[in-house]
Structure 1
Amino acid sequence: MEIRILGPIEPAVPPKPAQILAVLAVECGKIVPVDRLIDLIWGEEPPPQARKSLQVHISSLRRAGLPVEHRAAGYVLNAEPESVDLHLFRRRVADAGDEADLKVKAETLHQALGLWRGTPVVFAQTLEVQRLAAAEAWADAELALGRHSEVVDPLGAFVSEYPLAERLRGQLMTALARAGRRADAMRVFRETRRVLVDELGVEPGEQLQQLYRDVLEGARDSRRNYLPRDAGDFTGRDRELSRLLDSDGGVWWIEGPAGVGKSALAVHAAHRLADRYPDGQLFVDLHSPSGALDSLLRAMDVPSARIPESAEERAALWRATVSGRRVVIVLDGVTSVSQVRPLLPGSPGCLTLITSRSRLCGLEGVRRIPLDVLSSDEAVTLLRRILGDDRVSAEPDQADEVARLCGYLPLAVRITGARLAGRAHWPVSKLVRRLADERSRLDELVADDLAVRSSLELTYRALDENARSAYRIFGFLGLPEVPSFLWMHLLDEDVLDQLVDARLLDVIGSARYRMHELVRLHARELAEAEDPQEEREDLVRRAVVAALSTVDGLTEQLFLAVPRMQDSLGIVATAARPTDKDAWFAREESLLTRLVERAAELGLAEIASQLAEVLVFAWFGLRNRYEAWERTHTAALEAVWKTGDLRLEAVLRCSLGQMYYKRDNLVEARSWFDTAQTLFVNLGDKRGEAVAMNGIGMVCRDLGEYPCALEALGRARELLESHDTEGVGHALYGIGSVKRELGDDEGALGTLTLAETTYRAAQSRRGEALAARGIGLVHRARGELDLAEEHIVRAHEMVAGTGDELLGCYTAQAWAKVLLRKGSFDPAEELLGTAMNGCRDVGDRFGEALVRRTLGELRLAAGDHHGARIVLTEALASFTDLGLPLWRARTLRDLGAVHARLGEGAGADRCWGEAAELFTRLGTREAGEVHQWRTRWHRLVSR
């Protein structure tokens, strides 16, 4: 049952029972002594039968269904407090007091005041005081929300009820003035003065009189707008700006690195919100913190004579001055929370925007807005707004490049825009060329009083010496990111956290740090100016060693023309292996590549070469990462040339030869191997010579130059016999594969079997699998399909255990070809589909062409002649581009069969004729099979 006592009593009962109910409701759930009830109901002279009358009235309340119970000492209303409107009112007022959201606060107080329906029958004076306090709190919240016009009428009604409530009248004056009704506001003051003088014989208080003077003078907001000029070309930050514009005041901490646009956002938002904060729009530059409170007080028209000396007293006066007012304050360049605390207004109607390069820590009730650089589109839009659409549209790609070279940092983009705007004759491309040089980029990012370098310098000089040193170290490394496996060997985590707090570093992922490009250039500049060269080079050397200790533990045996020269490079793995190697290298590849280049830039040729070479066997060679392979080795080779170390040059040339070999650029690969071989011979390095000869032999094999291949591979085997078991296996495999192509099946089987045994002795599972596949190919060429499948399946299973997905594609293709020759087309096609996807994933052009040709053979065998023509034509084009005569000939032979099956005799003759010429010139096994083609398809061609 609901009980209402804030007005006429409900439920309706006779007057005396109603009074008793009201008293019990005020003390709901508590025992009210009989004597106190009698005193409250009948006063100091109760009737003789007051106790009996009380009992009668209580009985009537019970008959009305009200839960009034008798206790030893008196009576109690046994109900939930929220069932009584007074207690519900008090609960809502208390909730509003704890509420930070002004909208919720105002609505909660409005609901509380809505429970009142008139004058209470008991305790009226006390309860009215509570209602007045709630009304004033509600008005404060509404005014803080800028609802000036909306509150005029309700405030007028409250003033009529409480004519002597001076604060309430002041709120009405404020609402009228802010609603543009200055004359009405002054009339309220005059009426207030008359009522106070007539009723109480006193003048209005100082606060109300000051309010009157403000209204009388008018234009309060224009006198107190101390904001810097708003940027007319303000760009981006839509989400952050929306949060600020939708806010209901409070304190906001806008944080971000130097030049990211913190001040621009705060000032822009303050200008947009000026109408909602008409009592003042203030700006304080805390880069120069002295006198901040003095400046704020003077901005609010506090006379100098009233400003106290002590900071504590000034802070108290500041809070009193803005109490009840709507003020937006921008505190720019805050470096610590201690700077901010004395400057925060106590009034809920104020908005404080703090900008800082430091991360928030220890300030209660603050909302945080972190800023990062602009998006690429936003950065170009900002440039467009500064320069004009015509200049940017004339060179859109160059504008994109300017934004990129500026690192999408608003300050840098604004500076470049200002420079171009002041030089109408400059094309955008001219500034691109000037910004492209890292060494002078910060020199270019200066325009009048704007400079990226000086902005960063301010943050840097505020650091302690340890943090400054870490900043220079991070910059000199030249890496955009530094993961834990590097920094743990170079830097202290606590010091790095200082750089994070100063917004000179960002944390990404787990214990991984990133530095903005322009910040890195500044840090590198300082390192080169302040740190000795020996220390700088030692830093990079230690970073490379840290990388080596991790990467070397991830190397694997690969079947390469150039076996890894680990023993001569002297690398020792000491770091723990990442649990997911592929994911780790995918994440770290660009960083490791850049680290090799950085070491090479500094002339650290040997250690740059070491890391470059280890990366081949850990990742580049395994996953065909050709671009990174080429970048690292080219950079290392340039450093080696300067040192004159011919042996390291030969090693790197061999590796580049291998890279071109794997990319199917055989002519280029041969050139690198030839030069490396000459260098090794001149150095008297037998093992190096063998490595280069192995590479030359594999290139010659693929080019169809079989005598050269056998000579080179035989020489490699001879040189490696007592030095490198795995290298011998490589040579034997090459020799066996050449014998297979030449039709020397017995020689091929013997050599490949020996290669398999040799690989097994070297514990090279990849080599063993490759040799097993080669043996299977010999049996397949001889028509021994069961034996072929046995060896190839064994090879495929071994490869699966090594994780070499590309070699698995080749074993899958070989197996599929056996299956299609057995007539098992569906499983063959499934294997070929998997192989094709794998080759495409790593960009293996030869593998794709090989699988495509096999698919053509499958279509031909299955009777899909048109489908076979399509895929075989594509394979032929690929083999022609790759310069592989044997595979071109084999594909022409198959295309000739397609033409024959389609009854196209001329087409068949043309393809077979060219194929026969190639096979004869190469001297391969197919040269002896030419006469069989026409016999086999003669009947079909003659139809």
Structure 2
Amino acid sequence: MEVRILGPVEPPVPPKPAQILAVLAVECGKIVPVDRLIDLIWGERPPPQARKSLQVHISSLRRAGLPVEHRAAGYVLVARPQDVDLHAFRQLVAHAQDTAELKIKAELLKEALRLWRGTPVVFAQTLDVQRLAAAEAWVDAELALGRHAELIDPLGVFVAEYPLAERLRGQLMTALARAGRRADAMRVFRETRRVLVDELGVEPGEQLQQLYRDVLEGARDTRRNYLPRDAGDFTGRVRELDRLLTGDGGVWWIEGPAGVGKTALAVHAAHRLAERYPDGQLFVDLHSPSGALDALLRAMDVPSERIPESPEERAALWRAQVGGRRVVIVLDGVTSVSQVRPLLPGSPGCLTLITSRSRLCGLEGVHRIPLDVLGDDEAVTLLARILGDDRVGAEPDQATEVARLCGYLPLAVRITGARLAGRAHWPVSKLVRRLADERSRLDELVADDLAVRSSLELTYRALDEDVRRAYRMFGFLGLPELPSYLWAHLLDEDVLDQLVDARLLDVTGSARYRMHELVRLHARELAEAEDPRHDREDLVRRAVIAALSTVDGLTEQLFLAVPRMQDSLGVLATAARPADKDAWFAREESVLTKLVERAAELGLAATASQLAEVLVFAWFGLRNRYEAWERTHTAALEAVWRTGDVRLEAVLRCSLGQMHYKRDNLVEARSWFDTAQTLFVGLNDKHGEAVAMNGIGMVCRDLGEYPCALEALGRARELLAGNDPEGVAHALYGIGSVERELGRDEQALDTLHEAEAAYRKAKSRRGEALAARGVGLVHRARGELDLAEEHVVRAHEMVAGTGDELLGCYTAQAWAKVLLRKGDLDPARELLTTALNGCRDVGDRFGEALVRRTLGEWRLAGGDYAGARHVLTEALTSWTDLGLHLWRARTLRDLGAAHACSGDVAGADRCWDEAAALFARLGTRESGEVPQWSARWPPLGTLAVS
């Protein structure tokens, strides 16, 4: 437990116990005699029952969990010194004294001072002296590092706390003077003299008076500091700043996109380095090299009449003026190397900091510092420094969202902070709502003379027209990234690279281009204002076609309630197939999903629908990517509604029904299929009707509505016969599985063998494997275990060749159950463990519940009745959540067996009664087996798991 005494005692306890704890903490690990404790706590007049009171207070500390122990001579706090803030403070100070590295010394002392939270309740005066000494040592280290401006505010706080500490006041004077605030430094001296005379009746010491004379003398010196004001809320850039502060001069090129904080970094570094470059700190906002030289020469006190007309002579005079001097020069807003060359000093003792939005080359011996946006924590910290910790702390999640909506761009964060600071009545959440609308976000990012839009305009207007057009097109696409298989069909690579050089695009691995969110909004805004609508729509349409040329070649046959409607989609497949399909789709999913949404947003309903449907058969349906599946189809469906294309609506509704079917949302899936079927009937589209009926049939089968299932699947088979072998195979599989559940084994075998042949004809290995598994399940139900194993093993081996890991989990479960019936428990457990992990990885709730139930049967077979009850109860909860009555009944039957074998006859009867009622209502094969259960699983008897 940590004990804190440098301020209010923590953990919090009543006042007297707090004092006792503080004393013991000061002597952490040492015995404090009882008499000394009494003297320190109660002074010269302790109460008559002081020892008794001490014992009571010690007891309260122990009740609070504090490790206070009684020893023969007194009491001791049994804790590590590092767990007491006072001792941690002293250790940090000692480490700081032992190091010669200024930066480490400053960090250690700063960390030590952070431990203080207020006035200690004991030994306050003594401890305060230690704090003051640490503070003075920390300020010395910071001054030596040149951090003068940053010290002024914390020094002011220390001086207010220790008004008679002359050394602190002298340090404050030094920091002010070195930051160029000599008038303020002299004011501090006058204030110090008044306090010392009034309070102590003495004059300031000789050291402070000499410092005052030095400052006064320096005030008469014409120091050339032309830097803009340093940002008091400068945040982040620790690594970049460290490079600048520890470098050896020369030329540094700070590059980055608009609004990223290039100028802020350069100015901040120049202020910090002012002492190292005492001959001048200059700043030039570049327009032309000639004008810049004129400004620099005037800053070096060259009279107007001495400044030559020709740029070459000005450059020579400039180099002569800074020759042998130590000057730091900030050249802000450089757009070309030709601007820079005449301005570079010839003296090796000078430092030149260049800021540029361009990624330029051709300048020798330059140190480059590329800047990107702030980290998320840094952006929130910047917002807090502008707005105040209280307002950000009151709405931390909203502040984080503001930073995200600003794209972590420092300029945007600074603008939002300024807007909120000027509107004290606004909660942070109000600005979040205003920024959330992409169409007006740039309008919100304006505060006085700061605006993200105008900052981007400067860069944009400097581009050639073909580059500006590419910028607008890129932004209008609205994609998070533009991979090569898209941009190669849309934009010229050389033009894109010019946008990279202008820092309006970033390039990532594998030739992928990325645009910052706020830059994208600006580019889209310009596209909508400057480019014709048909050009913009054609761009998005061509992007979809480019995506289809790759994705359509990656589609696979799936066992789905809804087969792919080939006649609704054009097959392009002109691009090369990726070597690793899964890795490719995992990388491209967000781009492809957004592309569908963008096409739908523009009303390109058919185009959006086409890509959305292809993605189901290429990726979404294969890997259960439900969120992207729903996003793309919902967006496409909204576009279709606007066009009134009823057939496309029906197609998309079928696909959404399938998505919900795979997610085990059966009631919702039924609703989507029903509406689609009605639409297809209205269109007299027999094939579409059959596809919808296939979906309805599979949903009814899973819900245990077998007559409805057989009717729907039979209708689908009839409509699809002769024109869709795969659709017929789907219907046959569904019919066969229903016949199996109803105990019509011979019919089920015939139908499932027919389905297997139909799948083979359609070249659907997945479907063929699923039908083979179905045949195996019938043989297993009949007790024909060798035949069952033959079929499910064949199914499992077929699935392994397709790469369908989820279907592999189902064939593994079927195989494991056959092994379980045969008494081969160890290999069965291995298969089930693999299957459970596979179902869990893809979020397949049905599969996970199915495997859990089988694991319960495995425990039952092995005599672990308590374990079986636990696992089966978990599976039962899942079936209840899914609304699947047949599987709930089967699990209740097994759970009853576990109760019976444990000797819990009442528990077994409860489970079996409910299971029997469900089987009877559903009319499944198990309804005829009910009378055998009690004989099959007698209490503590031999098991024969079914």
The verdict on a shared fold, with TM-score over 0.5 as the criterion, is yes
| Paired residues of 1:329 and 1:351 also in contact (CA < 8 A) | yes
Aligned to 1:526: 526
Question: In structure 1, what is the Cα distance between the partners aligned to 2:873 and 2:738?
Answer: 26
Aligned to 1:314: 314
Question: In structure 1, what is the Cα distance between the partners aligned to 2:290 and 2:610?
Answer: 56
CA shift in 2, pair 1:396/1:216, >3 Å: closer
1:321 deviation in Å?
A: 1.0
Question: In structure 1, what is the Cα distance between the partners aligned to 2:610 and 2:576?
Answer: 19
Q: After superposing the two structures, state which structure 1 stretch, 259-268 or 820-829, moved more.
A: 820-829
Question: In structure 2, what is the Cα distance between the partners aligned to 1:871 and 1:216?
Answer: 85
| Paired residues of 2:903 and 2:939 also in contact (CA < 8 A) | no
Question: In structure 2, what is the Cα distance between the partners aligned to 1:868 and 1:518?
Answer: 57
Q: After superposing the two structures, state which structure 1 stretch, 844-853 or 862-871, moved more.
A: 862-871
Read off the aligned partner of 2:905 and give its amino acid letter: G
Pairing of 1:122-521 with structure 2 (within 5 A): 223-287=223-287, 290-521=290-521
| Paired residues of 1:221 and 1:279 also in contact (CA < 8 A) | no
| Paired residues of 2:280 and 2:327 also in contact (CA < 8 A) | yes
Partner SS state of residue 937, structure 2: helix
| Paired residues of 2:729 and 2:756 also in contact (CA < 8 A) | yes
CA shift in 2, pair 1:309/1:303, >3 Å: same
Aligned to 2:615: 615
Aligned to 1:881: 881
Aligned to 2:95: none
Partner SS state of residue 283, structure 2: strand
Pairing of 1:402-801 with structure 2 (within 5 A): 402-801=402-801
Q: After superposing the two structures, state which structure 1 stretch, 219-228 or 758-767, moved more.
A: 219-228
Question: In structure 2, what is the Cα distance between the partners aligned to 1:216 and 1:912?
Answer: 99
Partner SS state of residue 803, structure 2: coil
Aligned to 2:135: none
Question: In structure 2, what is the Cα distance between the partners aligned to 1:288 and 1:772?
Answer: 79
Read off the aligned partner of 1:429 and give its amino acid letter: S
| Paired residues of 1:658 and 1:695 also in contact (CA < 8 A) | yes
Question: In structure 2, what is the Cα distance between the partners aligned to 1:290 and 1:868?
Answer: 88
Aligned to 1:908: 908
Aligned to 2:18: none
1:346 deviation in Å?
A: 1.1
Q: After superposing the two structures, state which structure 1 stretch, 494-503 or 336-345, moved more.
A: 336-345
| Paired residues of 2:902 and 2:939 also in contact (CA < 8 A) | no
1:571 deviation in Å?
A: 3.1
Aligned to 1:807: 807
Question: In structure 1, what is the Cα distance between the partners aligned to 2:882 and 2:493?
Answer: 51
Partner SS state of residue 513, structure 1: strand
Aligned to 1:894: 894
1:567 deviation in Å?
A: 2.1
Question: In structure 1, what is the Cα distance between the partners aligned to 2:222 and 2:419?
Answer: 34
1:869 deviation in Å?
A: 1.1
Read off the aligned partner of 2:759 and give its amino acid letter: Y
Partner SS state of residue 302, structure 1: coil
Could you state the TM-score of these two structures normalised by the residue count of structure 2? 0.76
Aligned to 1:48: none
1:320 deviation in Å?
A: 1.4
1:360 deviation in Å?
A: 3.0
| Paired residues of 2:901 and 2:938 also in contact (CA < 8 A) | no
Question: In structure 1, what is the Cα distance between the partners aligned to 2:437 and 2:738?
Answer: 51
| Paired residues of 1:555 and 1:614 also in contact (CA < 8 A) | yes
1:577 deviation in Å?
A: 1.2
Aligned to 1:135: none
Equivalent residues, number: 734
| Paired residues of 2:905 and 2:939 also in contact (CA < 8 A) | no
RMSD between aligned residues: 1.8
CA shift in 2, pair 1:318/1:868, >3 Å: same
Question: In structure 2, what is the Cα distance between the partners aligned to 1:298 and 1:290?
Answer: 13
Question: In structure 1, what is the Cα distance between the partners aligned to 2:875 and 2:436?
Answer: 43
Q: Deviations over 1:162-214 (max 9, x none)?
A: xxxxxxxxxxxxxxxx9xxxxxxxxxxxxxxxxxxxxxxxxxxxxxxxxxxxx
Pairing of 1:45-84 with structure 2 (within 5 A): none
Question: In structure 1, what is the Cα distance between the partners aligned to 2:528 and 2:638?
Answer: 22
Partner SS state of residue 291, structure 1: helix
| Paired residues of 2:289 and 2:343 also in contact (CA < 8 A) | no
1:869 aligns with 2:869: yes
Q: Structure 1 runs of 4+ off > 6 angstroms? A: none
Question: In structure 2, what is the Cα distance between the partners aligned to 1:348 and 1:810?
Answer: 74
| Paired residues of 1:220 and 1:278 also in contact (CA < 8 A) | no
1:722 deviation in Å?
A: 1.4
| Paired residues of 1:253 and 1:360 also in contact (CA < 8 A) | no
Read off the aligned partner of 1:932 and give its amino acid letter: Q
Partner SS state of residue 228, structure 1: coil
Question: In structure 2, what is the Cα distance between the partners aligned to 1:738 and 1:453?
Answer: 63
Aligned to 2:851: 851
| Paired residues of 1:706 and 1:738 also in contact (CA < 8 A) | yes
CA shift in 2, pair 1:289/1:413, >3 Å: farther
| Paired residues of 1:673 and 1:692 also in contact (CA < 8 A) | yes
Question: In structure 2, what is the Cα distance between the partners aligned to 1:650 and 1:218?
Answer: 84
Question: In structure 1, what is the Cα distance between the partners aligned to 2:508 and 2:855?
Answer: 46
1:317 deviation in Å?
A: 1.2
Partner SS state of residue 812, structure 1: helix
Partner SS state of residue 404, structure 2: helix
Q: After superposing the two structures, state which structure 1 stretch, 649-658 or 859-868, moved more.
A: 859-868
Q: After superposing the two structures, state which structure 1 stretch, 770-779 or 290-299, moved more.
A: 290-299
Q: Deviations over 1:313-333 (max 9, x none)?
A: 111111111111110000000
CA shift in 2, pair 1:315/1:220, >3 Å: farther
Q: Deviations over 1:635-662 (max 9, x none)?
A: 0000000000000000000000000000
Q: Deviations over 1:108-156 (max 9, x none)?
A: xxxxxxxxxxxxxxxxxxxxxxxxxxxxxxxxxxxxx99xxxxxxxxxx
Partner SS state of residue 895, structure 1: helix
1:864 deviation in Å?
A: 1.1
Q: After superposing the two structures, state which structure 1 stretch, 219-228 or 285-294, moved more.
A: 219-228
Q: Deviations over 1:609-667 (max 9, x none)?
A: 00000000000000000000000000000000000000000000000000000000000
Pairing of 1:837-848 with structure 2 (within 5 A): 837-848=837-848
Question: In structure 2, what is the Cα distance between the partners aligned to 1:599 and 1:563?
Answer: 24
Partner SS state of residue 757, structure 1: helix
1:572 deviation in Å?
A: 2.0
Could you state the TM-score of these two structures normalised by the residue count of structure 1? 0.77
| Paired residues of 1:254 and 1:368 also in contact (CA < 8 A) | yes
| Paired residues of 1:221 and 1:280 also in contact (CA < 8 A) | no
Partner SS state of residue 369, structure 1: strand
Question: In structure 1, what is the Cα distance between the partners aligned to 2:328 and 2:755?
Answer: 82
Question: In structure 2, what is the Cα distance between the partners aligned to 1:228 and 1:524?
Answer: 34
Read off the aligned partner of 2:444 and give its amino acid letter: E
Partner SS state of residue 329, structure 1: strand
CA shift in 2, pair 1:514/1:222, >3 Å: farther
| Paired residues of 1:903 and 1:941 also in contact (CA < 8 A) | no
| Paired residues of 2:900 and 2:939 also in contact (CA < 8 A) | no
Question: In structure 1, what is the Cα distance between the partners aligned to 2:819 and 2:705?
Answer: 31
Q: Deviations over 1:367-422 (max 9, x none)?
A: 01000000110000000001101111111111011001000000000000000000
Which one has the largest radius of gyration?
Answer: 1
Aligned to 1:76: none
Question: In structure 1, what is the Cα distance between the partners aligned to 2:588 and 2:663?
Answer: 23
Read off the aligned partner of 2:915 and give its amino acid letter: A
Question: In structure 1, what is the Cα distance between the partners aligned to 2:753 and 2:540?
Answer: 47
